[in-house]
Chains A and B, each alone.
Chain A
Amino acid sequence: MSATHIEDLAIKPIRDLPDEHARKPWLGQAVGWLALALFTVWFLRLFLANPKLKPELIWKYLFNERILEGLWSTLLLAFYSMIGALIFGTVIGFCRISANPVLRATGWLYVWVFRSTPLVVQVLLWGNLALLMPVLGIGPFTVKTNDVMTPFLAGVIALMLHEASYVAEIVRSGVQSVPRPQREAADALALSWWETQRYIIMPQALKVMIPPLGGVFVLLLKSTSLVIVISGGDLLTEAQNIASLNLYTIELLLVATVWFLIITSIAYAGQHYLEWRFNRQNHAHAGGVNEHG
């Protein structure tokens, strides 16, 4: 073989390769989108074109005063019980990983009890507390249980205690996700337990904890509807109360559905924002070399 022949072989095929990229096959995708659209329309028609359903009532009751009051209670229920669950759950979570065996057992028992029983049962138990303890208090300071334990308060307590068990597990796994030698480094610098948690462990754990905490909050927003079993005055309770008078059950359930879609979507958006904020804040080292592999 001559040298020129080899050169020809080496260069020619490269010259002959096309530069243009083939178009993505679009027909299959278009058919897929069309099928999805048709299915959605068919499904909506199933509801809206049904002569038994009055869609205009959904719109009418969406901004009904009692529905809005129920919505506000739902938001307050979720807000108060989330704050309580964050505080209480953090304490329980630290108990779970404490060096003290008594605290560890307490934390474990708590999480076991509250995660192993249905939330609706817990709501009923708190709502019916008066049956067990008609009066609350010590010595001369007593009140009738039914005077303080309103359905709303019972709902907050039940949701808070239940969600705290989930928050506790998130806190525990978040704290444990920080490599152990970080604690040793803090010890070597003679930081106290509190300083180590505050400045070293928590800032790193929070990044791991935010996505599941957002999940807990969305779940909590929806779980507020369970207080209907003790007439908690939430969105669903109000919708049902109206329906029990005018008998437009499905319409009012759809009113509640629309509101739940809206508030959970807002919560999801908030969660994404927090994650984005946190990633940007940690951006400087997030993409860098991780010494722990």
Chain B
Amino acid sequence: MSTVELSGVRLSYGALEVLKGIETSIPSGQIVGLIGASGSGKSTLLRLVNGLLLPSSGHVLVDGELVGRKAKNGKLHPMTLAEIRRQRRKIGMVFQHFELFPHMTVEENLCLAPILHKEMDKSEARQRAMRLLSRVALSDKSRSYPGQLSGGQQQRVAIARALMLQPSIMLFDEPTSALDPELVGEVLTVMRELANDGMTMIVVTHELSFVREVADRVIFMDKGVIAEDGAPKDVLDNPKTERAKAFLARA
């Protein structure tokens, strides 16, 4: 089962320090809502968990193992591709703009990675794709191209794609921000079901009502640090910091 640990994590782009010392751990099965103003570092934090970004200093661990790096002779070295693959297959990610591959059908989008990784053969992958598509209520769209689907449908396909490798952690980067208001509900429904199945989830979002209802814990980020961390009702209803009060008043 999965745990995520971050200790002393800092990350800079040149002179700009985006994360300024993050300390936290997320036990397996927990649903975390990650909120904060844009530029507060929440999307960056999310990308550290699956190693799309590596910290400038500090350590990120998943299941007690360093992400994207290994310690050897007292130094940190980058992982090989095979090691990164083994690590990433247990972490699924969903993006704000879906990022389906537009030149592939829905089924091809789902089956590409598992087949390339030789996790499954073609018929196994196809069967699993059909199971996942029916789970997100899109069984009839397997042969469609992403451009033929609504935003909400595309995002549900993206969630199914992320689930193909049977991850134990799911990362969501503002999954409903690019959707028309009437399409937000269908995506949140799928996410709610995932949460009920015991998936570890870290969700960067502006949907505070979803966070209140589904999350076990809320982390409020401000200017590269964790400013508040606690149960949804505590953080959302009784924020301690002025910044969180101001942010929640606006939201």
Tell me the smallest distance from the CB of B174 to a CB of chain A, in Å: 12
Could you say which of B3-11, B142-150, B184-192 contacts chain A?
B142-150
> Is the C-beta of B154 less than 8 angstroms from some C-beta in chain A?
yes
Contact call A195/B116, Cβ cutoff below 8 A = yes
Contact call A199/B112, Cβ cutoff below 8 A = yes
Q: Residue A182 contacts which of B52, B99, B151 (CB distance < 8 angstroms)?
A: B99
Contact call A291/B97, Cβ cutoff below 8 A = yes
Hey, which chain A residues are within 8 Å of B89, CB to CB? Answer: 190
Contact call B147/A285, Cβ cutoff below 8 A = yes
Tell me the smallest distance from the CB of A283 to a CB of chain B, in Å: 9
Output the residue of A200, A282, A284, A287 with the most chain B CB within 10 A.
A284
> Is the C-beta of A189 less than 8 angstroms from some C-beta in chain B?
yes
Hey, which chain A residues are within 8 Å of B95, CB to CB? Answer: 181, 184-185, 188
Contact call B99/A187, Cβ cutoff below 8 A = no
Compute how far the CA of A287 lies from the CA of B145 in the bound complex, rounded to whole angstroms. 11
Compute how far the CA of A282 lies from the CA of B145 in the bound complex, rounded to whole angstroms. 9
> Is the C-beta of B18 less than 8 angstroms from some C-beta in chain A?
no
Hey, which chain B residues are within 8 Å of A289, CB to CB? Answer: 147, 149-151
> Is the C-beta of A62 less than 8 angstroms from some C-beta in chain B?
no
Given contacts A184-B95, A188-B93, contact A200 B101 (CB under 8 A): yes
A residues 179-225 with Cβ under 8 Å of B? 181-182, 184-185, 187-192, 195, 199-200, 203-204
Contact call A203/B103, Cβ cutoff below 8 A = yes
Tell me the smallest distance from the CB of A221 to a CB of chain B, in Å: 30
Compute how far the CA of A77 lies from the CA of B67 in the bound complex, rounded to whole angstroms. 52
Identity of the chain B residue whose Cβ is nearest the Cβ of A283 in the assembled complex: B145
Given contacts A285-B103, A286-B147, contact A292 B97 (CB under 8 A): yes
Contact call B97/A190, Cβ cutoff below 8 A = no
Which secondary structure characterizes the binding site on chain A? helix
> Is the C-beta of A288 less than 8 angstroms from some C-beta in chain B?
yes
Contact call B99/A184, Cβ cutoff below 8 A = yes
Q: Residue A284 contacts which of B52, B84, B98, B145 (CB distance < 8 angstroms)?
A: B145
Interface size bracket, A side: 20 to 34
Given contacts A190-B117, A191-B116, A192-B81, contact A181 B147 (CB under 8 A): no
A residues 241-293 with Cβ under 8 Å of B? 282, 284-292
Contact call B113/A191, Cβ cutoff below 8 A = yes
Hey, which chain B residues are within 8 Å of A285, CB to CB? Answer: 102-103, 145-148
> Is the C-beta of B200 less than 8 angstroms from some C-beta in chain A?
no
Contact call B85/A190, Cβ cutoff below 8 A = yes
Tell me the smallest distance from the CB of A187 to a CB of chain B, in Å: 6
Q: How many A-B residue pairs have CB under 8 A?
A: 76
Identity of the chain A residue whose Cβ is nearest the Cβ of B92 in the assembled complex: A188
Compute how far the CA of A282 lies from the CA of B105 in the bound complex, rounded to whole angstroms. 11
Q: Residue A190 contacts which of B84, B103, B147 (CB distance < 8 angstroms)?
A: B84
Identity of the chain A residue whose Cβ is nearest the Cβ of B108 in the assembled complex: A199
Contact call A287/B147, Cβ cutoff below 8 A = yes
Hey, which chain A residues are within 8 Å of B81, CB to CB? Answer: 192
Compute how far the CA of A200 lies from the CA of B99 in the bound complex, rounded to whole angstroms. 11
Compute how far the CA of A192 lies from the CA of B88 in the bound complex, rounded to whole angstroms. 12
Contact call B52/A204, Cβ cutoff below 8 A = no
> Is the C-beta of B178 less than 8 angstroms from some C-beta in chain A?
yes
Hey, which chain B residues are within 8 Å of A203, CB to CB? Answer: 103
Q: Residue A188 contacts which of B50, B98, B147, B178 (CB distance < 8 angstroms)?
A: B50
Contact call A181/B99, Cβ cutoff below 8 A = yes
Hey, which chain A residues are within 8 Å of B178, CB to CB? Answer: 291
B96-131 near A? 1/0 per residue, CB < 8 Å: 011111110000000011001100000000000000
Contact call A291/B84, Cβ cutoff below 8 A = no
Contact call B103/A282, Cβ cutoff below 8 A = yes
Compute how far the CA of A247 lies from the CA of B219 in the bound complex, rounded to whole angstroms. 88
B residues 35-53 with Cβ under 8 Å of A? 50, 52
Q: A189-B161, A285-B145, A290-B147 are in contact. List 10 more A-B contacts (CB 8 A).
A: A189-B112, A190-B85, A192-B81, A200-B101, A284-B147, A285-B147, A287-B147, A291-B98, A291-B146, A291-B178
Q: Give me the interface of A with B, judged by CB distance under 8 Å.
A: 181-182, 184-185, 187-192, 195, 199-200, 203-204, 282, 284-292
List the 4 closest pairs (A to B, CB-CB), nearest first. A288-B147, A285-B147, A185-B99, A189-B113
Instruction: Report 10 cross-chain contacts, Cβ distance below 8 Å, ordered by A residue.
Output: A188-B92, A189-B88, A189-B165, A190-B113, A199-B116, A285-B148, A287-B147, A288-B145, A291-B154, A292-B97
